[in-house]
Structure formats: structure tokens, C-alpha cells
């Protein structure tokens, strides 16, 4: 490794020299015979077979095991709108995680546009090269329309990980936290702070999982239809959540007596508001790098505490979900990723904790080797049940 780069000696920059990934051939080219099979003239026969039957790409190309990791650089980690070039190290990292934890080949694609129509058109034009599309770090509310439109236009899985990966893992941890505290979903009161990509997706998956009393808050308080400042996405969210229980007011109002707090918003929740939650409360403060409720504070008032950080117990980490979800979708040659597939992924992740369930262990480690295969198997089965599998 060259020591001449500008930040030589910094271990983070040293690791990133030349990027974190490369493309390698899976076949040997030892001579003319190998070349004639891998390239001309032999490859022409494979091309003709695919031209006659495009489904042959599933057997004779890397397409069915390859996902495009697509961003416009507008919502990168906790850094915000830093642009497509600066987003590349994160997209490379995501591709490495796909390979390490799911055996899926990821290709980072950073787009030099933030226009919704241009992003959609570009991804649609690129789609024949990929078995799936993983949208990443695209700001809300644009991300919702982009994902929805691409799902309509493409017959391959489209998945916005900032939404659904977070939601799957949060649900998995919540399932075990509810079991530990003796609660059932139907009678559990949940408050989510943050009505962006992750907050909306968490709300929707919790409703699918049986939560009835749910309030989502943004900077102006509970998202409900009595407000006159709601986007179309928030209007739909209000109808699905607070409108059904009549909840209004501030985050502090919503937290009074609540069983569960889930933070995907940043900022800080005052300790006096946390203290008003129900006994044996559950707090998932998932903002990075600074949780909305510091674990030391949360533990004074809650029985189960989780964060998005790796240096505290119970890390809500998307890597528990997205590699296995795409692995399972690819194994089933699924045309889409359904709500049933997401719920199955959450159930599989939660189930791995088993009898080892404690306050400090409601979610498996990202390095638990059982996670990827368990999620993949559950997702593939769900794809077949939901009628979206082609094998």
C-alpha cells in the first residue's frame, strides 16, 4: 500500500486507499481455448440463446445475483446532502456488506441528479443489468415516489433500505422486547419520533405486525389530520396512525404513558419526558451517532434499550436485514419484495434470539452467522406464499 496519499497514517483513510472492492473473474483464461469459450466465438451462442429467451439471463449471466446500490447522495448516513461523489465510500461499503453477509454482488451507482424523473428514468434504463435495485440515502419525501414508481415499472425487487431495512430490524427487536416485558402488540402504545423515510416505514410495518395505538411525531408534534402543514405522505401516515386514536399534541404529550419509544429523528428527548412513559418501557433511540435518548438516561426509566450504535447492546443494524432479504428474493427469483417477505425477515431475525432473550439481548449480532441464511430462507418461502416467486 502506498503511504503517499493525503491522509496517510490515518487507519480509516488507509483502509479506503483504492476503494473497498474490486471486480474479479470467476473463470480462468489460461489459453486460447478458454478465451474462445468465455469470449468470442463461444459467447455468441449464449447471446443468441438469451435473445431468443431473455429468461436465460437467470442461468448464464451474473444478473440474478447482482444488485444495484443506487443513491443521489442527498441523505448519506448522518451527513445529509453531500452529493454523489462523496457518497461513493458508503455505497462501496454497502456493496461489501451485501457480499459478506448475503453472497450478493453489489454495484455502487452514484447519480449526478436529484431530479425524481431523471433518477427513475436512469434506474429503469440500467435495470436489465441487475437482478434487484437497492435504493440508498435518498432524501424524503422524494424517496417514497422514486421507490413506488420503480416498483410499478420494474419486475425485479426494488427496496429502499433506509426505509424497509430499518423497519424490519426494528420490528424484530420489538417483537422480542414485547415478549420480555409481557406485552402483546394489540395493547401496546408506540410513539415514533421522525416522519421521514425510516419513521414512515417503521410505522407501516408495525401496523402490519398488529400494533393498534401508534403516534408518529415530527418537529411540530404528532402527525394528525387536524394539521394544515402535512405533505401527502404525512397525510396518509396521520390517517393510519394518530387519527385512529385521536392523539394530538407534542412528543412530550404522546410519550406520557407510552409503552414504546422509537427514535429515527435526531435531536434529544428531555429526560423528564422519558420519565413519564409506562413502567417497563421500551426505548429504541436509533439516531447516529447521537441517540435521541442516551442509554444511561434511558436505562433509568426503561427496561429494554436499543440504539443504532455498535458500542451499546441491542444494535438496530440494517445489515441484519438487507443482505438476507435480497439473497432470499434472488433465490426465489422474486419479482418484488412484499410486505409478507419483510414480516418474514423480521420474524426470522427475532427467532434467532430464542431462549437467550434478555434485556441486553433482544436482537442478534450482525456477525451471527445464522442471520443471513435464516432471513434468506424465510424471505424465499414468503415470496412463494405471496405468489411473487418465479422458482
Peptide bond before 141: cis, by omega within 30 degrees of 0? yes
Strand partners, 261: 191, 283
- Compute the distance between CA of residue 193 and CA of residue 199 in angstroms, rounded to an integer: 7
Shortest CA distance to 160 belongs to which of 390, 371, 342, 375?
Answer: 342
Q: 3-state class of 302 per DSSP?
A: strand
Active site residues: 39, 94
Buried b (16+ CB within 10 A) or exposed e, 312-349: bbbbbbbbbbbbbbbbbbbbbbbbbbbebbbbbbbbbb
- Residue from 140, 20, 68, 129 nearest 326 by CA: 68
- Please, which residues bridge with residue 222 across strands? 217
Q: Considering only CA atoms, which of 341, 358, 298, 382 is closest in space to residue 168?
A: 341
Query: First CA to last CA across the chain, in angstroms?
Result: 45
272: how many CB neighbours lie within 10 A of its CB?
A: 10
Amino acid at each position: 500500500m502506498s503511504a503517499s496519499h493525503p491522509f496517510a497514517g490515518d487507519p480509516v483513510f488507509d483502509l479506503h486507499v483504492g476503494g473497498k472492492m474490486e471486480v474479479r473473474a470467476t473463470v480462468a483464461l489460461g489459453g486460447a481455448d478458454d478465451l474462445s469459450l468465455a469470449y468470442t466465438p463461444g459467447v455468441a451462442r449464449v447471446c443468441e440463446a438469451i435473445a431468443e429467451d431473455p429468461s436465460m439471463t437467470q442461468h448464464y449471466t451474473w444478473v440474478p445475483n447482482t444488485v444495484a446500490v443506487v443513491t443521489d447522495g442527498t441523505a448519506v448516513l448522518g451527513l445529509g446532502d453531500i452529493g454523489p461523489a462523496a457518497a461513493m465510500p458508503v455505497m462501496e461499503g454497502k456493496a461489501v456488506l451485501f457480499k459478506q453477509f448475503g453472497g450478493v454482488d453489489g454495484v455502487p451507482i452514484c447519480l449526478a441528479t436529484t431530479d425524481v424523473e431523471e433518477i427513475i428514468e436512469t434506474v429503469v434504463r440500467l435495470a436489465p443489468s441487475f437482478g434487484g435495485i437497492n435504493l440508498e440515502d435518498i432524501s424524503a419525501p422524494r424517496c417514497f415516489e422514486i421507490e413506488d414508481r420503480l416498483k410499478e415499472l420494474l419486475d425485479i425487487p426494488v427496496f429502499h433500505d433506509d426505509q424497509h431495512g430499518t423497519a424490519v430490524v426494528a420490528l424484530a427487536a420489538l417483537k422480542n422486547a414485547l415478549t420480555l416485558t409481557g406485552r402483546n402488540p394489540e395493547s401496546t402504545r408506540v410513539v415514533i419520533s421522525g416522519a421521514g423515510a425510516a419513521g414512515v416505514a417503521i410505522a407501516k410495518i408495525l401496523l402490519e405486525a398488529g400494533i393498534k395505538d401508534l403516534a408518529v411525531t415530527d418537529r411540530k408534534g404528532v402527525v394528525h389530520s387536524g394539521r394544515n402543514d402535512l405533505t401527502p405522505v404525512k397525510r396518509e401516515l396521520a390517517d393510519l396512525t394518530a387519527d385512529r386514536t385521536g392523539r394530538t399534541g407534542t412528543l412530550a404529550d404522546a410519550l406520557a404513558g407510552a409503552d414504546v419509544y422509537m427514535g429515527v429523528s435526531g435531536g434529544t428527548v428531555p429526560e423528564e419526558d422519558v420519565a413519564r412513559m409506562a413502567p417497563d418501557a421500551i426505548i429504541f433511540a436509533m439516531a447516529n451517532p447521537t441517540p435521541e435518548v442516551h442509554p444511561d438516561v434511558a436505562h433509568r426509566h426503561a427496561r429494554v434499550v436499543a440504539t443504532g450504535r455498535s458500542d451499546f447492546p441491542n444494535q438496530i443494524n440494517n445489515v441484519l436485514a438487507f443482505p438476507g432479504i435480497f439473497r432470499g428474493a434472488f433465490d426465489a427469483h422474486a419479482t418484488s419484495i412484499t410486505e409478507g417477505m419483510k414480516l418474514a425477515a423480521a420474524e426470522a431475525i427475532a427467532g434467532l434470539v430464542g431462549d437467550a432473550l434478555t434485556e441486553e439481548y433482544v436482537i442478534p449480532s450482525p456477525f451471527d452467522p445464522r442471520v443471513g441464511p435464516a432471513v434468506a430462507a424465510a424471505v424465499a418461502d414468503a415470496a412463494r406464499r405471496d405468489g411473487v416467486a418465479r422458482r
